[in-house]
Amino acid sequence: MSIIDAIIIAIVEGITEFLPISSTGHMIITEKILGIPPSDFSKLFTVGIQLGAILAVVVLYWKKFIAPIQNNQWSFYVKLLIAVIPALVLGYIFSDKIDALLESTTTVAISLIAGGVVLLFIDAVFKNPIKDTDEKITKPNAFVIGLWQCIAMIPGVSRSAASIIGGMQQKLTRKLAAEFSFFLAVPTMAAATGFKLLQGYKTITTEHIQLFVIGNVVAFVVALLAIRFFIRFLQNHGFRVFGYYRIIVGLVLLLLIANGYLAK
């Protein structure tokens, strides 16, 4: 993987991490288009550069993360902890199976299409939200959203989409569901990255560290812009355009696979 490859993948990560279109799926596709063969480092890189995107959330919503500490009111963090537990448990149990799926373009394509169909109808299905502030999110709500997030362990599903849909199913408004998804990304992605680094740190070289640093800086800057765009767009337009996008990309991928332009 070259520095240019790392920058391109990081741009894709920054754009797609918080949009309901699957950052992992897009990074897998990008790596295949760039001709980067699957390896332990490529898998580690796609997870590791998510730290940059996570930092963008912390910077944009720093008051949200600081306020509970200043006021000694820990409910916000308790809810995040409860929500992240399902992903920690299932991610640990199925780690090897998830790694195997990361090499499958077909899995990404099918997941993109299936998720796209869901997004076409999600606004109509969950159209009467009653929870518009963090305080109204209960601990059971948080746990159910965490269960929904686990669906995104299948590449192409989208962690953002799964957790936002889970939030809307729990009667959160689109904006609140999206923001809680952003907050939940912080412990989820931090844990996933930490776990991967513990597994593969012995194989990391000086060159790898350079690529990680560059990738995380790029992902951070791009994610800052993407988050602001997504919240505004979501409030005004909903999810339908993302559904159409996912379906189109998924069908194109299946055509490329069928004609031998992309590996299965």
- Quick one: average pLDDT of 68-72? 79
For every residue of 189-236, DSSP letters joined together read HHHHHHHHHHHHGGG--HHHHHHHHHHHHHHHHHHHHHHHHHHHHHHH
Reported confidence tier of residue 148, pLDDT bands at 50, 70, 90:
very high
Whether 148 and 162 have beta carbons less than 8 Å apart is answered as yes
Reported confidence tier of residue 123, pLDDT bands at 50, 70, 90:
confident
pLDDT at 91: 84
Q: Could you report the per-residue pLDDT of 161-199, keeping only the tens digit for each?
A: 999 999 999 999 988 999 999 899 999 888 888 887 787
> In 102-124, which positions are buried (b, 16+ CB within 10 angstroms) versus exposed (e)?
bbbbebbbbbbbebbebbbebee
| C-beta contacts of 138-144 below 8 A and 24+ residues apart | 139/78, 139/79, 139/82, 141/79, 141/167, 141/170, 141/171, 141/172, 142/79, 142/80, 142/82, 142/83, 143/82, 143/83, 143/85, 143/86, 144/169, 144/170
Q: Hey, is 264 helix, strand or coil?
A: coil
Closest CA to 119 of 190, 192, 19: 19
pLDDT at 169: 93
| Single-letter amino acid code for the residue at 262 | L
Q: Which of 102 and 174 is assigned the larger pLDDT?
A: 174
The mean-pLDDT minimum among 218-222, 225-229, 231-235, 260-264 falls in 260-264
d(CA 24, CA 106): 13
d(CA 65, CA 43): 29
Q: Could you report the per-residue pLDDT of 55-68, keeping only the tens digit for each?
A: 998 999 888 888 88
- Quick one: average pLDDT of 114-123? 91
Query: pLDDT averaged over the chain?
Result: 88
d(CA 112, CA 156): 5
- Quick one: average pLDDT of 48-60? 89
- Quick one: average pLDDT of 217-230? 91
Identify the residue whose tokens are 């912390």: 58
d(CA 133, CA 117): 28
Nearest 5°: the CA angle 140, 144, 145 is 115
Residue 264: C-alpha distances to residues 95, 106, 246, 256 (Å): 21, 5, 18, 9
- Quick one: average pLDDT of 239-247? 93
- Quick one: average pLDDT of 20-44? 85
- Quick one: average pLDDT of 220-233? 89
- Quick one: average pLDDT of 236-251? 91
Pair of tokens at residue 32:
């295949």
Highest-confidence segment of 17-31, 94-108, 237-251: 237-251
Domains of the chain, residue spans: 3-258
